[in-house]
């Protein structure tokens, strides 16, 4: 039994505090000109000290529930894609289940970095398609600000905080997920990581002194891989359903670097004007970036009935993936 699975509601939340490139100029040896020209970022949102990842996720989840018109008690499954959970365990999804009163939902976190939202949608789709569950809440939520080394100009200027969520339901034929493709290449696992705090390097004075509880990234190597992987994944996901890039009405990619998005559009021979870009406002919000962009595009009236909407992302692991939706 393979049922249609569609998006019946969506929402996003970003923290109020805006930190601009000019603000960063006052903290670091960097310039607005460097950040803007190399990445397309002008500003990012940073969570308040008393706001944790689950708070951002709950705000996005509440909006998605409201938009879907269903009750909290109807959610069967909660998947939270994050690499910045409230704490290593319990899962942030369990904390969100409690905060949102999703009394009957099974809840777990999913770790696939910036591709996490696509991975989460694909997992939920399986459960809904095969009839195990009827309604799922998938959230991408991150507080990247908490794992950034604010003394490292190579990384801290790139990321931001936020959350985005969708409610998926079996039997929903509008905004139907019509194709998904996922990819993983563990040979890239050393290029973007946070080394300490796990079984490899439990927290110690040394790990703190060596700043190993912060994100570390080899941006150049990732840059080379990202556009290629997203383009290939896009083609595979489209081919599965007999489509090609020219059939995409709007392409909503993970927002890591405007130059990566330009490279993606070029590889697909797809007009950059149809690629949704909001990186200037938020930076890279990892698992939250695709759902935030999706909801923004919808709220801006850019998604029309029957449009082919393509989501694609790439991140640590390496992980990547694509999801095609018939709006
Ligand atoms: O979400 C998925 C994971 N992440 C990504 O997809 C990120 C992928 N990578 C990138 O977006 C780019 O590689 C970066 C934006 C990270 C870097 O851009 P780049 O054009 O590859 O710059 P670079 O690393 O080659 O650095 C060029 C120079 C270096 O100086 P030297 O060694 O040439 O003197 C850096 O030290 O720019 C310097 N630099 C900065 N200067 C001012 C690096 N960060 C900064 C900064 N401000 N914030």
The last residue of a domain, from among 124, 143, 173: 173
Residues 87 and 184 in one domain: no
Nearest-CA residue for atom 47 of ligand 1: 30
Q: Catalytic one among 114, 156, 181, 323?
A: 114
Tell me the CA–centroid distance for residue 110 and ligand 1, in Å: 28
Residues 238 and 221 in one domain: yes
Average pLDDT over residues 299-322: 98
Q: How many structural domains does the chain have?
A: 2
Residues 191 and 298 in one domain: yes
Residues 169 and 184 in one domain: no
Which DSSP helix (H) or strand (E) runs through 238?
helix 219-239
| Nearest in space to 327 (alpha carbons), one of 183, 173, 216 | 173
Residues 94 and 112 in one domain: yes
Tell me the CA–centroid distance for residue 66 and ligand 1, in Å: 40
What residues make up the domain containing 63? 5-173
Q: What is the pLDDT of residues 108-151, one digit of tens each?
A: 999 999 999 999 999 999 999 999 999 999 999 999 999 999 99
Backbone angles phi, psi at 73, to 5 degrees: -65, -10
Residues 25 and 169 in one domain: yes
The last residue of a domain, from among 118, 141, 173: 173
Q: What is the pLDDT of residues 185-237, one digit of tens each?
A: 999 999 999 999 999 999 999 999 999 999 999 999 999 899 999 999 999 99
Nearest-CA residue for atom 23 of ligand 1: 220
C-alpha count within 13 angstroms, C-beta hemisphere, residue 160: 31
Q: What is the mean pLDDT of the chain?
A: 97
Which of 190, 219, 317 should be mutated for ligand 1, with most atoms under 8 A from CB?
A: 219
pLDDT at 173: 87
Residues 31 and 154 in one domain: yes
CA distances from residue 205 to 197, 202, 214 in whole angstroms, order as listed: 12, 10, 14
Q: Catalytic one among 94, 254, 257, 323?
A: 254
State the CATH number of the domain containing residue 246: 3.40.47.10
Residues 249 and 165 in one domain: no
Residues 21 and 95 in one domain: yes
Residues 73 and 87 in one domain: yes
- Which atom from ligand 1 is nearest to the alpha carbon of 220? 13
Q: What percent of the chain has pLDDT over 70?
A: 100
Looking at the whole model, is its pTM more than 0.85?
yes
Residues 149 and 79 in one domain: yes
Say whether 205 is catalytic. no
- Which atom from ligand 1 is nearest to the alpha carbon of 192? 3
The last residue of a domain, from among 153, 173, 193: 173
């Amino acid at each position: 039994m393979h049922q249609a699975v569609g998006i019946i509601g969506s929402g996003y939340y970003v923290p109020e505090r805006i930190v601009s490139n000019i603000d960063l100029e006052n903290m670091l040896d960097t310039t607005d000109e460097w950040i803007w020209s190399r990445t397309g970022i002008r500003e990012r949102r940073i969570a308040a000290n008393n706001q944790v990842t689950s708070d951002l996720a709950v705000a996005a989840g509440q909006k998605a529930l409201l938009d879907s018109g269903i009750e909290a008690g109807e959610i069967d499954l909660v998947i939270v894609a994050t690499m910045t959970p409230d704490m290593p365990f319990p899962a942030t999804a369990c904390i969100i289940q409690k905060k949102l009163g999703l009394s009957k939902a099974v809840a777990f976190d999913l770790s696939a970095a910036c591709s996490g939202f696509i991975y989460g949608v694909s997992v939920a789709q399986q459960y809904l398609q095969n009839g195990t569950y009827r309604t799922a809440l998938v959230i991408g939520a991150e507080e990247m600000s908490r794992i950034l080394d604010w003394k490292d100009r190579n990384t801290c200027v790139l990321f931001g905080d936020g959350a985005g969520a969708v409610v998926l339901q079996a039997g929903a034929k509008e905004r139907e997920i019509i194709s998904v493709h996922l990819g993983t290449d563990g040979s890239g696992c050393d290029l973007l990581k946070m080394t300490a705090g796990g079984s490899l390097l439990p927290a110690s004075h040394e790990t703190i002194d060596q700043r190993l509880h912060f994100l570390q990234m080899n941006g150049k190597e990732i840059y080379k891989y990202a556009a290629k992987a997203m383009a290939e994944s896009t083609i595979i996901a489209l081919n599965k359903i007999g489509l090609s890039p020219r059939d995409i009405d709007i392409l909503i990619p993970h927002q890591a670097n405007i130059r990566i998005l330009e490279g993606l559009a070029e590889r697909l021979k797809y007009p950059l004007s149809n690629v949704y870009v909001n990186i200037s406002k938020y930076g890279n919000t990892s698992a939250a970036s695709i759902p935030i962009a999706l909801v923004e595009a919808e709220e801006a009236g850019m998604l029309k009935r029957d449009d082919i909407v393509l989501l694609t992302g790439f991140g640590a692991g390496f992980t990547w993936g694509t999801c095609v939706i018939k709006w």
